[in-house]
Amino acid sequence: MRFLRRLFGLKVAPRHGDPLPKQKAATQELMILEIAREYAAREGLRWIEPVHAEFLYSPNGPYWLVQTNFTGRGYAVFIAINDETRDVIGTHSLPR
């Protein structure tokens, strides 16, 4: 799909694995991380740095997946946030 965009100048919505434009991604990622941090604090989940946020697609629409303790082993929290409404749509935590 990327080669078609380069070859024909097609404007195609990004799919899984395609990055967002850098400027848009940077500001959205900061907002998403703040939403996830507030949610974790409210629910009593441990927030362990470093944190990774990834923009993904599903049949239900685009969403962000935030993972705490990204480079470590053990306890981690996964928080899924809807891209359009900014609502938390799911959480999962891995025990130690």
In 3D space, the residue among 58, 67, 71 whose CA is nearest the CA of residue 29 turns out to be 67
Give the model confidence (pLDDT) of 27-86 as tens digits. 788 999 999 999 999 999 999 999 999 989 888 889 999 999 998 888 999 999 999 999
Place of tokens 């990004």: 14
Give the model confidence (pLDDT) of 15-33 as tens digits. 555 555 566 667 788 999 9
Estimate to the nearest angstrom the gap between the alpha carbon of 80 and the chain centroid: 7
Q: Quote the CA–CA distance of 5 and 28 in Å, as a whole number.
A: 24
CATH number among 3.10.450, 2.60.40, 3.40.50, 1.10.10, domain 20-94 = 3.10.450
Instruction: Determine contact, residues 41/71, Cβ cutoff 8 Å.
Output: no
What are the residues facing 52 on neighbouring strands?
67
Rounded to two decimals, the pTM is: 0.72
Strands 76-82, 88-94: pairing is: antiparallel
